[in-house]
Amino acid sequence: MDEWTQTLGAVPLLLIAAGAIAVILILIIRVKLHAFLVLVLVSLLTALATGIPVGEIGKVLVDSFSGTVGAVALLVGLGAMLGALVETSGGARVLAEKMVSIFGEKRAAFALGVASLIMGFPMFFDAGLIVMLPIIFAVGRRIGGKHMLLFGITAAAAFSVMHVFVPPHPGPITASETYGANLGLVLLLGLVVALPTWYITGYLWARFVDKRIPLPIMNLFGGEDVQPTNPPKAGTVIGVLSIPLFLILLNTGVSSLVSTGTLDGEAVWVQALRLIGTSQIALLISVLVALFVLGTRRGVHGTALEKIVDSSLGPICSVVLITGAGGMFGGVLRASGIGDALSDSLASIGIPVIFAAYLIAVVLRVAQGSATVALVTAAGLVAPAIVAADFSPLQIACAVLATAAGSVFAGHVNDSGFWLVGRLMGMDVKTTLKTWTVQQALESVVGFAIVLVLFGLVSFV
């Protein structure tokens, strides 16, 4: 692949990508073929159509699939185990009752969203969503059982805006380094952008679509009818769920101190702290603690505990495979050069830098799926123009956030997150397109509009 060069132009590559997406939608929505099979088949056909060397296609497919599944399977598997323990112990029900009693039924979704914003500061999108799912399901069942989109989209959008706009997530950090932005300013302005964007495109949008598509609450963890006689206290459940939040936040702090030279990154104890603060290890530790606190200490032992965690894995196997296949399709699009061809064409038009950063990120996002890849790649393409523009530190921070806004636009079938959200919330492809894809487009547009206002204001400072 290193020696292969794409000879097709932007137009034929765009037509191939559009055709591949159309085939995916037709086969899944109309023909009712399983999404996993469709994504694998179309990934293969797309690789052939774009001219990727036949001898390399197998490697591209397997590498892009395993690259997605490697992270997702651990996060979803461990998160499902933690969710099952919280659910079957009665902890999710107890915490849901506590939240409803404090905030009331009308503000429960808003409270879930605020909690997700807080958890989304150090936690990646998929890890945070998995940890919150048992609480989302429990609150939803507590309030009618027919508001999956209200609670699910509200929480998922909260994790999304934090992941896209706010350091220490990899996209905004890498873009900040590429543009030479002040990370503190990016963090401050990122919060200014993320919070109203979540309220408008997350909470208010969720309320809007929930009234029109009343989906039932999922029973992913198999604990809907469980009413244990000795459930844990709400504080205990919060403590267990806070473990990954604390460990990941600790990792973030240590990594920041290492990057500034305050701590020696080669020290064993520093490496140990960073290890336990990775998302997968933090969730593993949380599951082990939950096994004792929510299981053994309550009198649930041995085989009973083993059955609880084992039963949690079956329902999420399809989620993992479909998510991995979505990552495979996105990987084929990246390897084929579709995103590069489109972004190069757009960059040559000569539009204002702040708009170019946004539009190039939009094109990359739609073309290949990954928000992080779109953000990082767009930043690399636009960085010379940012330097030439002689922007102030505040303007450079706005350029980072404009690129970030473009990178989240309209996640669809080539985005692994599209399949993760849709399957975890019990949505078919058509419903996911109408709800989550539109939410991501709104998040992008509203976020960029707020960035433009900030950019205009700081230009006069």
DSSP string, 86-98: HHHTTHHHHHHHH
Separation of alpha carbons 342 and 95, rounded Å:
48
Tokens of 187: 């963090």
Q: What is the pLDDT of residue 41?
A: 94
Band of pLDDT at residue 226, cut at 50, 70 and 90: low
Highest mean pLDDT among 81-85, 123-127, 303-307: 303-307
The residue type at 133? L
The residue type at 180? G
Separation of alpha carbons 274 and 282, rounded Å:
10
Separation of alpha carbons 238 and 320, rounded Å:
27
363 against 96, higher pLDDT: 363
Band of pLDDT at residue 347, cut at 50, 70 and 90: low
The residue type at 109? A
Residue 8: how many CB atoms within 10 A of its CB?
Answer: 17
391 against 453, higher pLDDT: 453
Separation of alpha carbons 301 and 306, rounded Å:
8
Question: Checking phi first, is residue 390 left (phi over 0); if not, alpha (psi -120 to 50) or beta?
Answer: left
Q: Compute CA distances 120 → 104, 388, 443, whole Å.
A: 23, 34, 16
Peptide bond into 168 cis (omega under 30): yes
Separation of alpha carbons 381 and 376, rounded Å:
9
Band of pLDDT at residue 438, cut at 50, 70 and 90: very high
Model confidence pLDDT, tens digit, residues 172-181: 877 888 888 8
Band of pLDDT at residue 225, cut at 50, 70 and 90: very low
Separation of alpha carbons 160 and 115, rounded Å:
13
Model confidence pLDDT, tens digit, residues 1-45: 567 777 787 788 878 888 887 888 788 778 888 888 988 999 999
Does residue 221 surpass a pLDDT of 90?
no
Tokens of 311: 């039963």
Model confidence pLDDT, tens digit, residues 39-48: 899 999 999 9
Band of pLDDT at residue 269, cut at 50, 70 and 90: very high
Q: Are 270 and 253 in contact (CB under 8 A)?
A: no
Highest mean pLDDT among 79-83, 216-220, 262-266, 376-380: 262-266
CA torsion 121→339→411→83, rounded to 10°?
A: -50
Q: What is the pLDDT of residue 20?
A: 86
- Mean predicted lDDT score pLDDT of the chain: 84
Separation of alpha carbons 219 and 237, rounded Å:
19
Does residue 373 surpass a pLDDT of 60?
yes
Separation of alpha carbons 55 and 78, rounded Å:
36
Q: What is the mean pLDDT of residues 149-161?
A: 94
- Predicted TM-score (pTM) of this structure: 0.72
Does residue 87 surpass a pLDDT of 60?
yes
Model confidence pLDDT, tens digit, residues 412-428: 887 878 988 998 888 99
Does residue 340 surpass a pLDDT of 70?
no
Model confidence pLDDT, tens digit, residues 288-331: 999 999 888 888 888 888 888 888 887 778 777 877 887 788 78
Tokens of 28: 């899944």
